[in-house]
Structure 1
Amino acid sequence: MGATTADVGQSGVVPAALKRRVPKYVDLAPLMQFKKPDFSKAARLQRANTIWDLRDIAKRRTPKAPFDYTDGGAEAEITLRRARQAFFDIEFRPGILRDVSSVDLTTEVMGKPSRLPVGIAPTGFTRMMQSEGEYAGSQAAAAAGIPYTLSTMGTASIEDVAAAAPHGRNWFQLYLWTDRDRSLELINRAAAAGNDTLMVTVDTAVAGARLRDVRNGMTIPPALTLKTVLDASYRPAWWFNFLTHEPLTFASLSRYTGTVADLINSMFDPTLTFDDLDWLRETWKGNLVVKGIQTVEDARKVVDHGADGIVLSNHGGRQLDRAPVPFHLLPEVSAALKADHSDAAIILDTGIMSGADIIAALALGADFTLIGRAYLYGLMAGGRAGVDRALQILEKDMARTMALLGVSQISELTPDHVRILGA
């Protein structure tokens, strides 16, 4: 009978591989991988493996007021926390023994293909976060083969964005003003610049209470107070770019100074009704998407009034605190619109911070997703290169998540792949 492991151990025989010896240089040399420190922007961004990593970099490099404007929400920020928590409170249900050697992330949205199932959401004052602003976002989106949405309150004009990303798919987000002639002027400019989709935002009858902005005394453009000057000493690159580039303006509007809340309250129309949506549908001949849907009933209504798509969104938690979480609404809205035999696109934003979040949303009924903060963190971390890195991170996340779920195409995702914990 052969000796057992226990027998060998009791005999005192030590395997050769476990005998002590003096290490030789020839053995140590391959292990010594000392590298020269690299503090370049490219190296800094490459070390970011998640959107949260980009957020950390952004916070170090951006003054408090613009960072908080991006990072914060309304009032106690309950809605923002709940929106992010919603993506944590899921369980993926993977399939096994599927061929996932090739994962295809392409999809179709608003009648055209998109290389990834995510686009860039409209964000205001973008050049305040980092001087490349809308130009970086639109060019990165074009390079990634995804849509880019310019905000009415953007700091680059419709025409300049079209020129910066002539081969990109550019959308335009509209706030309907009390002055219909000026709204019509924007609509016509968007059409002339080749925007195929108009996204009207309907959840800003008045401004939300964005308390971080109030506490920071944030104005457009930023005011040079003693507090901001001290803050600048820690972020010299941001201030150098800010002071040496064209002054910030709302490029689609006339010049305005004051707080964000004052601007919204003075410009946006609290009397809007579905009749105004009918006017917009008659006026705009391209795709019409309504952003800010927060109930099943309103999802049905806007589609009945001619919308080609909806964006389930609570404005990133920046308007009504304790608003519904879009991700929680998604299954019910999807079921309702399908029951109505509607082919309207269901787009989701708010709370997305990873590619896994995007895949979960698609599985539960979204046709497409939008990111705001996630790409702005990249922008603040490194300009155009930072936005590229954010999209690379999300793409890698999505591909890995799909492969681990046993799915090789977006169309194969179903609600069976995701369970909402506690539901």
Structure 2
Amino acid sequence: MATYENRNYRLGDSLDFQNFSEVRAIAKRRLPKGIFEYIDRGTEDERALTSNRVGFDRVKIRPSVLKGDATPRSTSVNLFGVEYVSPIVVTPTAFAGLVRYRGEIELAQAAADFGIPYCAATEAISSVEEIAEASSAPVWFQLYIWDKEELSYELMDRAWSKGARTLVLTADTAVMPKREFNHRNGFDIPFRFSTKNVFDVARHPGWALGVLGRYFATTGLPNFANYPPEYRTNLLKRGGGPSLNLMPNLNWGHVRRVRDHWKGNLIVKGLLRTEDAIAARDIGAEGIVVSNHGGRMFDSAVSPIEVLREIAETVGNDVTILADSSVQRGSDVFKLIASGANAVLVGRSMLYGTAAAGRKGAMQMMQILTDEIGLTMDLSGCRSVAEIEEKMLHRGTY
């Protein structure tokens, strides 16, 4: 069984960050404001971001002491029959290819080397074929249902043909959120040039030359590489035909049809209600993600850690439960697992690590989080992830 302690790949000298806050600061310096804020910020008044952090902070850990024995501590988990070295999954994120040249590929390679799953996104700069072929391990694939539903099935088939066996269907994005800062920064689709954001790019020559310049010199202005060619436009909405939009009336019927079409593991992402978890289970999903999209979709949404225990108690024996949203420390991962998750998706920290130093930076962030998970386990008296339980938590009040 693979464990964190005996994995084959090891980092050399550490990069100049030791935690989430420090790698975030590096990414903020290196990325133009529009790209950094697209990753970092939320929606509307960003209260969901605050409540996600408050949700974690109000949950404390009650450690069990004097439990040391000769059993090696292991952070490994088994997801869908595959053993991974850590209970973290690289969540699908749009525009990862803009934080670093071919950023999705470097991040996928880092995840494969480290020994955790990487989930490729529909709205990626690199295609699922490129990512899968560059990775030494099978990737997961995230799907948005398009308004031309048959094209979504063709994309699923492309992912399957490249070895993807786990599909993550995002269910909480039937409409686009109100991200006012994106509009101000010109980071809508299409991108809008202004004196302000052109000057901002000029102030980040490393990004302008090392990322955008390299795309111009090789493949041209980035586009959504998973879109069918006839709908594929660049980020200025030039070079393509008609638009391809998200399914506006997304419903459980669409999920059922995906279930009928997809032969592998199906995970439904973006659930915060017990009845939705039950519906996903009854349709035949093997997994769910309890998520409020990192506070980026619906500003009044409840934080996942507030509802995770209730959902896990209802469907936890029937499906694999994943959770995410605003995870910054290994102790956050521990709290979600104690609340009923089998593993935890992480996004921002992985993008910041990739922005800081590509594949090596992403791996260092994976190692930091896994070290913190292990430290939290050691201080709480747990030798394995299976020993992390709800009774170890103390839930305070706001």
Matched, 1:168 2:150: no
Task: Compute the displacement of 1:259 (Å).
Answer: 8.2
- Map 1:283-298; keep pairs closer than 5 Å: 283-298=261-276
Task: Compute the displacement of 1:174 (Å).
Answer: 0.5
CA distance, structure 2, for counterparts of residue 225 and residue 383 of structure 1? 29
Deviations 1:308-340 (A, max 9, x none): 1000111111111110111111110011114xx
Matched, 1:419 2:388: no
Structure 1 contact 312–326 (Cα < 8 Å) conserved: yes
CA distance, structure 2, for counterparts of residue 409 and residue 266 of structure 1? 45
Aligned amino acid, residue 133 of structure 1: G
Aligned amino acid, residue 407 of structure 1: C
Matched, 1:307 2:285: yes
Deviations 1:201-246 (A, max 9, x none): 0111110001110111114575553222321333111110211223
Aligned amino acid, residue 386 of structure 2: S
The alignment partner of 1:407 has SS state of coil
Counterpart in 2 of 1:141? 111
Task: Compute the displacement of 1:169 (Å).
Answer: 3.1
Question: CA separation of 1:249/1:266 partners in 2, compared to 1, >3 Å: closer, same or farther?
Answer: closer
CA distance, structure 1, for counterparts of residue 190 and residue 174 of structure 2? 23
CA distance, structure 2, for counterparts of residue 271 and residue 400 of structure 1? 45
Alignment match of 1:248 (pick from 222, 229, 234) = 222
- RMSD over aligned Cα, in angstroms? 1.9
Structure 1 contact 100–407 (Cα < 8 Å) conserved: no
Counterpart in 2 of 1:227? 196
Counterpart in 1 of 2:297? 319
Counterpart in 1 of 2:5? none
Counterpart in 2 of 1:22? none
- Map 1:84-123; keep pairs closer than 5 Å: 84-99=53-68, 102-123=72-93
Question: CA separation of 1:368/1:170 partners in 2, compared to 1, >3 Å: closer, same or farther?
Answer: same
Structure 2 contact 15–361 (Cα < 8 Å) conserved: no
- Map 1:300-379; keep pairs closer than 5 Å: 300-338=278-316, 342-379=317-354
Counterpart in 1 of 2:156? 187
Structure 2 contact 186–193 (Cα < 8 Å) conserved: no
Task: Compute the displacement of 1:180 (Å).
Answer: 2.1
Task: Compute the displacement of 1:135 (Å).
Answer: 0.7
The alignment partner of 2:268 has SS state of strand
CA distance, structure 2, for counterparts of residue 390 and residue 313 of structure 1? 21
CA distance, structure 2, for counterparts of residue 157 and residue 271 of structure 1? 26
Aligned amino acid, residue 269 of structure 1: M
Structure 2 contact 55–305 (Cα < 8 Å) conserved: yes
The alignment partner of 2:176 has SS state of coil
CA distance, structure 1, for counterparts of residue 371 and residue 51 of structure 2? 25
Structure 2 contact 166–266 (Cα < 8 Å) conserved: yes
Structure 1 contact 221–249 (Cα < 8 Å) conserved: no
Deviates more, 1:218-227 or 1:86-95: 218-227
CA distance, structure 1, for counterparts of residue 272 and residue 158 of structure 2? 29
Counterpart in 2 of 1:27? none
Structure 2 contact 353–362 (Cα < 8 Å) conserved: yes
Deviations 1:141-172 (A, max 9, x none): 0011111001110111111001110x213000
CA distance, structure 2, for counterparts of residue 347 and residue 328 of structure 1? 14
Matched, 1:390 2:365: yes
Counterpart in 2 of 1:177? 146
CA distance, structure 2, for counterparts of residue 393 and residue 259 of structure 1? 37
Question: CA separation of 1:221/1:208 partners in 2, compared to 1, >3 Å: closer, same or farther?
Answer: closer
Aligned amino acid, residue 396 of structure 1: D
Alignment match of 2:102 (pick from 106, 128, 132) = 132
Deviations 1:358-409 (A, max 9, x none): 0111111101110011111111222212111110110110111100001110
The alignment partner of 2:270 has SS state of strand
Which runs of 5 or more residues in structure 1 are unaligned?
Answer: 1-41
Deviations 1:342-364 (A, max 9, x none): 42001001010111110111111
Q: How many pairs does the alignment contain?
A: 373
The alignment partner of 1:290 has SS state of strand
CA distance, structure 1, for counterparts of residue 389 and residue 42 of structure 2? 31
TM-score after normalising by structure 2: 0.90
Question: CA separation of 1:100/1:80 partners in 2, compared to 1, >3 Å: closer, same or farther?
Answer: farther
Matched, 1:66 2:56: no
Aligned amino acid, residue 420 of structure 1: R
Counterpart in 1 of 2:178? 209
Deviates more, 1:65-74 or 1:240-249: 240-249
Counterpart in 1 of 2:3? none
Matched, 1:79 2:57: no
Matched, 1:218 2:187: yes
CA distance, structure 2, for counterparts of residue 184 and residue 176 of structure 1? 9
Structure 1 contact 136–383 (Cα < 8 Å) conserved: yes
Deviations 1:21-69 (A, max 9, x none): xxxxxxxxxxxxxxxxxxxxx87x6331111110011101110000000
CA distance, structure 2, for counterparts of residue 93 and residue 143 of structure 1? 34
